[in-house]
A and B are shown apart, each in its own frame.
Chain A
Amino acid sequence: MADVSLNKLVKRYDEVEAVRGIDLAIEDQEFVVLVGPSGCGKSTTLRMIAGLEDISDGDIRIGGDVVNDVPPRDRDIAMVFQNYALYPHMTVAENMSFGLRLKRFPKEEIRKRVDEAARILNIGELLDRKPRQLSGGQRQRVAMGRAIVRDPQVFLFDEPLSNLDAKLRVQMRTEIKRVHQMVPVTTVYVTHDQVEAMTLADRVVVMNGGRIEQVGPPDELYHSPATRFVAAFIGSPAMNVVPCRLEAEGEELMVRLDGGVSVPVPAERRARYGDAVGRKLFFGLRPEHLTDEGGRRNGGPTARIEATPDVVEVMGMETLIFFTLGGHEAAARLDSGARPRVGESIPLVADLGHMHLIDAESEFVL
């Protein structure tokens, strides 16, 4: 087991820079998830760690050693692919033991490791089957088994759950978490699904346009996003982001949203936002912090906002409404019992203790 560090890592394809000098330190046994939209460079980064892509600049260290020019087979890593990449002509047991057989492990040791991995993954009865006789979830388990038996320094996962249906994806997510608790190997996991990222990771790395936007534990990313991108990317439905200006009114600071709605800045945040008066900003508030009168409130500073729902989604455990706020679509999360009607105005309570102000120019959260 080992730590992994990326130092000023760059990947160029002719003119295009897919990864633009990223720095990242992953600790031993840590589960790190790289998340971001398509083309953000997350898979390329993973493939560079695996040795499947050459590095254009910078370096990668595994266990302290620079591995830039080390071929994949000598990096002591294991990888799970999106399409499983099981060898179709081999049985499950042969698939899992392939790496060990190449390294000429004793037969007894191979069998012990395969049995142990099969036990962890609950695939003991599948060992003699061929991949084509397995379901998607079983194939993914075998792919994980193939990684586990190698006892590598680092596990790499490249969107492993993308080919599974929604229900199985949730099951396998839990499975991966459980396996990591049983076999705590340093893990780098790539996904575009922020729910996967939030549920699995010790730390989430949000990437965008070949750069790292923010690195942190899921909780931190959710509650204290560093940039507008992270604020909007993490959370479902996404954070409401509305253009606004900050104005001083005597002692108070007022946020004037486009469309004429104003909310006061809580007293404890005035010092933090003092410099931003007069600048172009975005006001950010998550849907769960914009709720109905009788909804959840933690007693902090609040403001009332009138909303006329365009769409109402009754989810059972909660009710979502979508409406227009300052010319932009916004969402609010209401109590499960709330039954607002489309087109009828209802009063909402904004929990300003959780508001964010984002600089419109730099897109950093203030």
Chain B
Amino acid sequence: MVVASQDAPAGAGINPSHGSMSRERRWALRWSYVCLALFAVIFLMPPIYMLITSLKTSAEISTAANPWWVFDPTLGNYAELLSQQQFLIFFRNSVLVTVIVVCVTMLIAVPAAFALSRMKFWGSTSLATGVFLTYLVPETLLFIPLFKIFAELQGLTGISFINNWWTLIFIYPTLTVPFCTWIMIGYFASIPKELDEAALIDGATWMQTLRLVFLPVALPGLIAAGIFAFTVSWAQFLYPMVFTTSADQLVLPVGIVTTLIKGDVFNWGQIMTGALLTAAPPLILYAFLMDYYIAGLTSGATKG
């Protein structure tokens, strides 16, 4: 009788609860798939449309045929665009600006984040918050005062800051440095303080501690910050639109729009090809470094 009374509730207890758990899980999974599929469709539609259009001739684009199908595929748009000297100049300018801005950003943001998170000094907490607040000021508010400052500087020094691609190297960091500093502060905060204390006792200076201990340990954070700086610099539109005008000074996003739209004539095939080619470098970068990027962005949330 004792055995029976023990068996019944155990048997009755385990199976239904196990069943309901897995049923809940199945439903949760179904909903996840539905939502994810919806998001994927919404977000992938524009690039797919761009790809399809870039493979069409101007004649096919202007006909009223099914816009989601290529009847007469051609690589003509790619060949034409890549053979244009102008497009290659935009590309070169973009690469130069982006690479230099990423380097400058990391050179400023990493030591700043290290100092703010590790070297306890008066006001370091307020400063860290201040750094983040500067990121919240939108570029649409900043571009006029920034233009004015550089115009004044041009007047004072005689150096032509306006209409030169390299001026962007001074301007983009106003966007990238605060956010990258913030990411790195979060990442450094997840490193146990005993690690830098051990390094200091082992005889390292602060700079050696940063270089030999923190940077290798914080590599995922560095990559996340680097990718952010790269993406922001590569895709920036407003500042180059304001600061550069000559065709040889333009970067890709502005160059494509200003040179491929002639008056009211939209060369859609080439515009879409240009846009796709512009989107390619960040995509390739993401694909290679995605795991690091996610590790970097989530580290503060789980460890810090």
Contact = CB atoms under 8 A, between A and B. Distances in A.
A81 B194 contact: yes
Contacts of B204: 73, 98, 102
Interface in A89-119: 89, 98-99, 102-103
B202 interface: yes
A77 interface: yes
Interface of B: 192, 194-195, 197-205, 208, 212-213, 216-217
A71 interface: yes
Given A87-B213, A89-B216, A81 B198 contact: yes
Given A73-B204, A85-B194, A102-B202, 7 more contacts: A71-B200, A75-B201, A77-B201, A87-B217, A98-B199, A146-B198, A146-B202
B203 A99 contact: yes
Contact of B201 (A79, A86, A89): A79
Contacts of A103: 203
Contacts, number: 58
Contacts of B194: 81-83, 85
Given A73-B205, A102-B208, A85 B198 contact: yes
A99 B217 contact: no
B200 A85 contact: no
A85 B197 contact: yes
Contact of A81 (B197, B212, B213): B197
Contacts of A89: 216-217
A102 B213 contact: no
What are the nearest 7 A-B pairs in CB distance?
A85-B194, A99-B202, A85-B198, A89-B216, A73-B203, A81-B194, A102-B203
26 contacts: A51-B201, A52-B197, A52-B201, A71-B200, A72-B197, A72-B201, A73-B200, A73-B201, A73-B202, A73-B203, A73-B204, A75-B201, A78-B202, A79-B201, A81-B197, A85-B197, A85-B198, A86-B198, A87-B198, A88-B217, A98-B202, A98-B212, A99-B203, A102-B202, A102-B208, A103-B203
Residue from the set B199, B201, B204 with the largest chain A CB neighbour count within 10 Å: B201
A97 to B, nearest CB: 10
A88 B205 CA distance: 19
A87 B195 CA distance: 7
A86 B216 CA distance: 13
A79 B217 contact: no
A50 interface: yes
A102 B192 CA distance: 21
A356 interface: no
Residue of A52, A79, A82, A85 contacting most chain B CB atoms (<10 Å): A85
A103 B195 CA distance: 18
Interface string A139-152: 00000001000100
